[in-house]
Structure 1
Amino acid sequence: MTSWFRKKGTLETIALEEEPLASSSFTRSITPHTPLLRVSDVHRSFQVGGGKIDVLKGIEMELRPLQLVMLKGRSGSGKTTLLNLIGGLDLPTKGEIVFQEHAFHHSSDDDRTLIRRKEIGFIFQSYALMPLLSAWENVELALRMAGTPRSQWKERVHHCLDLVGLGKRMHHRPYELSGGEQQRVAIAKAIAHRPSLILADEPTAELDSQMGAQIMSVFRNIIATEQVTICMTTHDPTILEDADHVYEMVDGRFVT
């Protein structure tokens, strides 16, 4: 399979020794000019000892359908804190976060959990795979947790693993896979329940530059095929040209 990626304003190819992308009949109703998520004047503070640390300081942003958005910044700039708020894993100290029609800043833990289970997928730097389960079983587990009917599991797992180029490695356990392959399993797991938003925390940080470029190519294919929006954190300047929009964070604020 040959995949495309952006580099210095041009399109180049990388050859992947994997299976071709599976076709999908899935379609999602999308209004391109309507934000999928809005963040308005968001602040997040934490009590540490007898003092307060302000981690986010008035964040304003939008995520639109079918975009690849990157949060760029050094460690400690607030990227992961913001990603947790966008995903409903935490609540802002002040401000509003609206995902689709859901006001996360007013939602209970249970309500946010139900929304995440149906509409949001997560990809972590450490892959977060079950070590004793095969790639197939890890993706299947995501469908179980999302409450997907059992009759749909086989077709959906096969499609997701083919989509990330692991059609020939789907019965291997994580320790039998390379770092790049483990990240591909994590991606397949994140998209299995057909979310509308994928959140990825430093998904290329543990990979070399070639593997990182391949993961970005996989993201582009997923946006087109699965009709999702991807928001990811990074401090890797080599992949920024793949983004539709980049928000740079310094000390809890966006800079231009």
Structure 2
Amino acid sequence: MAERTEMPCHEVRNVHRSFWTGGQRVDVLRGIEMSVASGALTMLRGRSGSGKTTLLNLMGGLDRPSAGEVMFKNRAIHQWSDRRLTVMRRQEIGYIFQTFALMPLLTAWENVELSLRMAGISRTQWKDRVARCLELVGLTKRIHHRPFELSGGEQQRVAIAKAIAHRPLLLLADEPTAELDSHMASHIIAIFRDIVEAEGIAICMTTHDSTLWGAADVVYQMADGRIVTE
């Protein structure tokens, strides 16, 4: 079991994000201050439009702040080039989306392998790591099935295994339980807790499901582009 640590993996410092549309400026994030600790499950909760997904995109280097700092392992990634950010995303960050983002013609095993290939992991490590990740999500008996042969919950579990295969420091999940029933949603969160303990990584996810908040180490309430409670 990985040792729990409270050291911050990710810090967002006075971050603002604005967009221009129809000649008007829309302020999506307004002075966000937050951190995500290694070995902890952090949740962002709030209504649609509160800025959760925009914040997650900034944390993952998929977008840049209009002002403020985005720090990942004490590195100011908001100042990095697109090329450097691409390498970081492939090697140090895992992503999970509402849509499972699996390759439809590949088996569960092959989908997880793809993550290792993209991260440049040596092929000699693939077999053991893929087996380990699919074991963590409880899919050892479904490794040869393609996405269309799996239930929604099983597809999401493959997506989780794929997201952690390259041993990221940070896992970002945008509404990962939105398409699942309450039972399967609880099961996915239990898997996240197992991953936090077994892998020692930081997980930050967005959700509007109040039944899941109790499983988090930290919950940030967002409203109108601000953190209103922790």
TM-score normalised to structure 1 length: 0.87
Instruction: Please state if 1:46 is matched with 2:19.
Output: yes
Matches within 5 A, 1:25-44: 32-44=5-17
Q: What per-residue deviation string (whole Å, max 9, x for no partner) do you get for residues 155-189 of structure 1?
A: 11111111100000011000100000000000000
For 1:199 and 1:115, the matched residues in 2 are separated by: 13
For 2:89 and 2:228, the matched residues in 1 are separated by: 29
For 2:82 and 2:27, the matched residues in 1 are separated by: 23
For 1:54 and 1:215, the matched residues in 2 are separated by: 33
Instruction: Please state if 1:228 is matched with 2:195.
Output: no
* Counterpart residue number, 2:78: 105
Question: What is the number of equivalent residue pairs in this alignment?
Answer: 229
* Counterpart residue number, 1:165: 138
- What letter corresponds to residue 191 of structure 2 in structure 1? V
* Counterpart residue number, 1:127: 100
Matches within 5 A, 1:1-256: 32-256=5-229
For 2:41 and 2:105, the matched residues in 1 are separated by: 32
For 1:224 and 1:34, the matched residues in 2 are separated by: 15
Q: CA RMSD in A?
A: 1.2
The DSSP-based 3-state class of the residue aligned with 2:129 is helix
For 1:81 and 1:33, the matched residues in 2 are separated by: 25
Q: What per-residue deviation string (whole Å, max 9, x for no partner) do you get for residues 124-165 of structure 1?
A: 110100111110010000100000001111111111111100
The DSSP-based 3-state class of the residue aligned with 1:167 is coil
- What letter corresponds to residue 52 of structure 2 in structure 1? K
The DSSP-based 3-state class of the residue aligned with 2:193 is helix
* Counterpart residue number, 1:7: none
Per the TM alignment, residue 33 of structure 1 is displaced from its structure 2 partner at its CA by 3.8
Per the TM alignment, residue 32 of structure 1 is displaced from its structure 2 partner at its CA by 2.5
Per the TM alignment, residue 118 of structure 1 is displaced from its structure 2 partner at its CA by 1.3
For 1:38 and 1:110, the matched residues in 2 are separated by: 22
The DSSP-based 3-state class of the residue aligned with 1:36 is strand
* Counterpart residue number, 1:20: none
Q: What is the percent sequence identity of the aligned residues?
A: 63
Per the TM alignment, residue 31 of structure 1 is displaced from its structure 2 partner at its CA by 8.5
Unpaired segments ≥5 residues, structure 1: 1-23
For 2:90 and 2:79, the matched residues in 1 are separated by: 18
For 2:48 and 2:6, the matched residues in 1 are separated by: 32
Residues 33 and 238 of structure 1: is their aligned pair in 2 closer, same or farther, counting only changes over 3 Å?
closer
For 2:171 and 2:202, the matched residues in 1 are separated by: 6
Conserved in 1, the CA contact under 8 Å of 2:4 and 2:197?
no
- What letter corresponds to residue 66 of structure 2 in structure 1? T
Q: What per-residue deviation string (whole Å, max 9, x for no partner) do you get for residues 56-88 of structure 1?
A: 000000111111000001111100000000001
Q: What per-residue deviation string (whole Å, max 9, x for no partner) do you get for residues 86-108 of structure 1?
A: 00110000000110032112111
Conserved in 1, the CA contact under 8 Å of 2:6 and 2:39?
no
The DSSP-based 3-state class of the residue aligned with 1:74 is coil
For 1:154 and 1:37, the matched residues in 2 are separated by: 30
